Amino acid sequence: MTEQSDQIIFHIDGDAFFASCEQSTDMSLRGKPIAVGRERGVATAFSYEAKALGVTRGMSGKEIKEQFPNVLLVSSDYRKYGLYSRRFKNIVRNMCGEIEGMSIDECFVNVTYMAKSYKDAYMLAAKLQNELCTKLGMTFSIGVGPNKTIAKIASGMNKPRGITVISDLNIKADLYPLHISRVSGIGFNSVIKLEQLGVYTIADLVAKPDGWTDDFLSKPYRELVSELQGNFVKPLVLIQDKPKSISKIRAFTPATTNVDYLKSEFARNAEIIAKKMHRQGLQAKHLVLAMKTPKYEIGKNSIRIDIIPENPIVSSQDLLQLIELHFDQLYLPHYKYRATYVSVHSLNDISEQYDLFGEVESRRTYRSLSDLTQTLEKKHGPFVLHTAASMSAIHQHSYIHPNKSNNDVGHYDGMPLMMSPHNDKVLYIPYLGVI
């Protein structure tokens, strides 16, 4: 079990965000009951003034007109909401540090280093709330707690414009009596199952002994329970604004004509890029490969090719395959090279939509390997794992083709496992990664 948390986390959540964006940009809507979604004929969001009258989500435009003639129906403008979202997150970032974005109008920030006590944290939250209100013309509610799970519940407890602190002083009085459906992460079906097991409130859940938790709950739920007990289990996933492209250049001396070495350098570039993409849940639709020559003879100073692959790039394996496929186009035997360059463009959020041609299984394997890599790196530090194809770059020119190695020591998830020729504590999967 983790130590009692000594962290202080904020969860900041926009109050009636879409309606507030509309009211912020149109003075005539301020303080009025409005519903957003006119273009669809359905209320998708509404202001607190409309909520007070009794407007509910999903009500049709016609119903609203009939039952609430004072409610103004306005069209949604998602570009506007996106713009406000970016401004909101920038204000939080500037004031409190890097954030974990949760949705368009929500984010987490760890304020432990700015607030030594919950009292400090409260003052900081009040200051942040004021700043957001002044700069954006709308209100936000802030939950303050020892971890993300509790901060998230807290932000919803006193809306709108609430600041709710849950610390070890009031966790039992204020958090434990709440129904389990208030916990983000316990879905509708899980609520039913838990109720069947006699668990209704957070107090019921956290009172269960570890053995019960292990028997009845999956790992994510066990983590959730631990956080509800006040521990800090799930660190923030800090994400800068998602990039449009990611690139990596690797220079080396002496310049070389060695194909295997150049490929292994490319593989290291690919590995670093894939790691960044994975961390941010991104896929790429455009790849640029280039190599630099010492004397800048060709074109400007590099030989480059643009590749638009059939399927989006999601893993280092995808990158390695494309590098292998296109390397000959790039490589001119008469030149020595001093740097490799890989960049991925047209990045967007990863989706499962491309799994149309039976590729889902293999891609899932690479994805789970990436997950594994991340887990181990968190534990043992960065770069404990590498794709086997990049081993020569790591071990200074001593490239050993993993498929030709005699060090086959078994299988992992159906794939052959190799012993590293350089380090008997390292196992790796050819071209995929070390475990």
Catalytic residues: 106
Q: List 289's β-bridge partners, or say none.
A: 305, 342
In the chain, the N- to C-terminal Cα span, in Å, equals: 26
Provide, rounded to whole angstroms, the least separation between the CB of residue 19 and Mg ion: 10
- 49 makes contact with Mg ion (CB under 5 A): no
Provide, rounded to whole angstroms, the least separation between the CB of residue 234 and Mg ion: 21
Q: How many CA atoms lie within 13 A of 275 on its CB side?
A: 22
Gap between the Cα atoms of 377 and 381, Å rounded: 5
Please identify, using beta-carbon distances, which residue of 13 and 223 lies nearer to Mg ion.
13
Q: List 100's β-bridge partners, or say none.
A: 108
Using CB under 5 A as the binding rule, the residues of this chain from 215 to 234 that contact Mg ion are none
Q: Point out which span in 16-24, 32-40, 60-68, 394-402 binds Mg ion (CB under 5 A).
A: 16-24
Longest dimension (CA), the chain: 80
Q: Point out which span in 17-25, 51-59, 114-122, 280-288 binds Mg ion (CB under 5 A).
A: 17-25
Provide, rounded to whole angstroms, the least separation between the CB of residue 85 and Mg ion: 11
Q: Point out which span in 101-109, 391-399, 405-413, 425-433 binds Mg ion (CB under 5 A).
A: 101-109
- 105 makes contact with Mg ion (CB under 5 A): yes
Pairing of the two strands 427-429 and 433-434: antiparallel
Please identify, using beta-carbon distances, which residue of 17 and 118 lies nearer to Mg ion.
17
Pairing of the two strands 408-412 and 415-419: antiparallel
Provide, rounded to whole angstroms, the least separation between the CB of residue 138 and Mg ion: 11
The residue within the footprint of Mg ion, chosen from 5, 13, 110, 125 (CB under 5 A), is: 13
CB 341 within 8 A of CB 265: no
In one letter, which amino acid is 273? I
Picking from 69, 67, 74, the residue whose alpha carbon sits closest to that of residue 46 is 74
Torsion of CA 395, 397, 401, 405, to 10 degrees: -60
Please identify, using beta-carbon distances, which residue of 48 and 412 lies nearer to Mg ion.
48
Binding mask 117-156 for Mg ion (x = CB under 5 A): ----------------------------------------
**Number of residues lying near Mg ion (CB under 5 A):** 4
Binding mask 178-197 for Mg ion (x = CB under 5 A): --------------------
Please identify, using beta-carbon distances, which residue of 18 and 399 lies nearer to Mg ion.
18
DSSP 8-state code for residue 172: I
Provide, rounded to whole angstroms, the least separation between the CB of residue 37 and Mg ion: 16
Please identify, using beta-carbon distances, which residue of 21 and 290 lies nearer to Mg ion.
21
What contacts 343, CB < 8 A, 6 or more positions away? 245, 246, 247, 248, 273, 287, 288
Please identify, using beta-carbon distances, which residue of 100 and 265 lies nearer to Mg ion.
100
Q: Point out which span in 12-20, 130-138, 228-236, 341-349 binds Mg ion (CB under 5 A).
A: 12-20
Provide, rounded to whole angstroms, the least separation between the CB of residue 11 and Mg ion: 10
Give kind and range of the element (H or E) at residue 418.
strand 415-419
- Strands, DSSP E only, in 24-81? 34-36, 45-46, 72-74
Provide, rounded to whole angstroms, the least separation between the CB of residue 17 and Mg ion: 5
Please identify, using beta-carbon distances, which residue of 25 and 117 lies nearer to Mg ion.
25
Q: Residue ranges of the alpha helices (H) in 45-117?
A: 48-53, 61-67, 78-96
- 108 makes contact with Mg ion (CB under 5 A): no
The residue within the footprint of Mg ion, chosen from 14, 143, 312, 430 (CB under 5 A), is: 14
Reading the block at residue 212, the tokens are: 């019960």
Picking from 79, 70, 64, the residue whose alpha carbon sits closest to that of residue 31 is 70
Q: Which residues bind Mg ion (CB under 5 A)?
A: 13-14, 17, 105
